[in-house]
Chain A
Amino acid sequence: MLKKRIIGVVLVKDGIAVQSIAYRKYLPIGKPSIVIEYLNNWGIDEIILNDISATRNNYPPNFKLIRESTKNSQVPITLGGGINSIDHINTLMKCGVDKVVLNQSALINPSFIHESSQIFGSQCIVVSLDCIKVGTNYRLYDYLKNQSLDFSPIDYAIKVQELGAGEIFLNSVDRDGSKLGFDTILISQIKNNVNIPVIGCGGAGTPEHFSKTFSSTKVGALAAANIFNFFEHSVTIIKAIVSRDHTVRCDTQNNYFDNKFDHQGRLNKKKDDILEKLLYLKIEEEKI
């Protein structure tokens, strides 16, 4: 059975991993390669590395940084930012990248989706949709101009699927950095109109947000950035909580399947007698 995917997003601005709030405010976190190494070690299912400054500055992808960053990941890495030619994708494939996210290049030149998916296969081409609520409807959003476009995300999603996109990376601008939870209405609207995988993103604040969104929509993958950087043991805790209602992959030596959590999803302390036993428990590290 296919597992629900929990995806970590690493936003990079001018070579530094950052936290994003509503696409307007950015706080520094550190080196992207370190963030990726940690996510990988914690057992994340996939990583999306998104350079939000490349296209804005009219730079190609930062190949050196990307090559350095992918080295310590044994989970799939999807790269976004600054990609506007077949050559870029070719070079990225040689930097340890598995898939690419197209945003501006697909918006400006939709035939690029078709062209690239013919060469690299649909499974390699992810198209990113930034969406914002305008009145009661959703509209596409142009992050470079910081404004909404007069274009429905549903129509665009159907179009990119026809052009050969293999996945849709769906971002809610309103929920970005808000910790209010995923926009389940937006996710359902897009998901119910396409037949390719959709990755929902934007607003994850607690582990419950993941399991609730998996339950109330048909989405197969959810992504988040900030929660993984600012919430201890977040990957393991999210997987433990989601696993109560859905199947997830667990490849790490420890899991919190038997643990109890408080209302915010923080770990409760185990009983003293259990801790006592743990004190003398020897866990052999497997050498592969």
Chain B
Amino acid sequence: MKKPVITIIDYGVGNLISISNAISYLGYQSINISSDFHEIINSDALILPGVGAFAPAMQNLRNLGLDHVLNEVVLEARKPILGICLGMQLMADTSEENGLNNGLGWIPGNVVKLNIPEKFVVPHVGWNNIQILKKSPLFKNDNQQLDFYFDHSYHYKCEEKYIISECNYSCSITSAIAYKNIYGVQFHPEKSQNNGLRLFRSFFNMVAQC
């Protein structure tokens, strides 16, 4: 199996190094951290990271012209892409974080504030187990309840057909979505120890077989 060329999209926000640390730990050597069109179009898999607030992240993408680049590479060239946390939320139509803002609109849905009973604290931070609803290249062992690290105050509301796993925090939270070549996870696989490494491995194995 050939090792894929992986590009982590650099748009000024996000914990890029955490992700590249985790991926290089698995032995992948061709990892770019880049916002360059040629590097992005010439890679086999993309990671859209994200830590922070929705509006400045979207603004940064636009300022760098990356919204157009990504639309072309993801929607037309159909490169597999994995959005992490805010990177997943950017794939929605809109987000209501600090006012209503438009996202990339790749997977129909809206990002809304966690609306939960008072005794549950927000942000939803810590290790929570997910329930896998559908078979997906992201999860190899789909019969287990896996723990992943979450840290977010908003979540992705979308149609059930896009949801591949959810987790429970007094309400159901969409924890992973997929549509064609587009994947997103609300949790942080790069910070979820072995379960996170397994997820990256499954994703890149799928990419290598494409």
A67 within 8 A of B: yes
Q: Are B51 and A98 in contact (CB under 8 A)?
A: yes
Closest to B200 in A: A288
Q: Are A5 and B126 in contact (CB under 8 A)?
A: yes
**Size bracket, chain B contacts:** 35 or more
B209 within 8 A of A: no
Query: Nearest Cβ distance between residue A92 and chain B, in whole angstroms?
Result: 9
Query: Nearest Cβ distance between residue A99 and chain B, in whole angstroms?
Result: 8
Q: Can you add 9 more A-B contacts, CB < 8 Å, to A76-B149, A76-B191?
A: A1-B129, A2-B126, A3-B126, A74-B197, A93-B16, A98-B51, A98-B188, A99-B151, A122-B123
Q: Mark A184-200, 1 if CB is under 8 A from B, else 0.
A: 00000000000111000
Query: Per a CB cutoff under 8 Å, which of B151, B169, B195 touches A251?
Result: B195
CB within 8 Å for A119 and B127 given contacts A196-B121, A251-B147: no
Q: How far is the CA of A218 from the CA of B153 in the complex (A)?
A: 20
B53 within 8 A of A: yes
A75 within 8 A of B: yes
- Please name all residues of chain A whose beta carbon is closer than 8 Å to the beta carbon of B169 when the two chains form the complex: 2
Query: Per a CB cutoff under 8 Å, which of A40, A71, A98, A286 touches B15?
Result: A98
CB within 8 Å for A74 and B192 given contacts A2-B169, A67-B17, A93-B15: yes
- Please name all residues of chain B whose beta carbon is closer than 8 Å to the beta carbon of A2 when the two chains form the complex: 124, 126-128, 169
Q: Is the interface of B mostly helix, strand, loop or mixed?
A: mixed
B181 within 8 A of A: no
- Please name all residues of chain B whose beta carbon is closer than 8 Å to the beta carbon of A94 when the two chains form the complex: 16-17
12 contacts between A and B (CB under 8 A): A1-B129, A45-B127, A70-B21, A74-B25, A76-B191, A93-B17, A96-B18, A119-B52, A119-B56, A121-B86, A124-B51, A197-B125
Q: Are B21 and A71 in contact (CB under 8 A)?
A: yes
Q: Are A123 and B21 in contact (CB under 8 A)?
A: no
Q: Are A43 and B193 in contact (CB under 8 A)?
A: yes
- Please name all residues of chain B whose beta carbon is closer than 8 Å to the beta carbon of A221 when the two chains form the complex: 126
With a 10 A CB-CB cut-off, give which of A99, A119, A197, A249 has the most chain B CB atoms: A249
- Please name all residues of chain A whose beta carbon is closer than 8 Å to the beta carbon of B168 when the two chains form the complex: 1
B196 within 8 A of A: yes
A95 within 8 A of B: yes
CB within 8 Å for A166 and B196 given contacts A3-B128, A96-B21, A195-B118: no
B157 within 8 A of A: no
- Please name all residues of chain A whose beta carbon is closer than 8 Å to the beta carbon of B184 when the two chains form the complex: none
B87 within 8 A of A: no
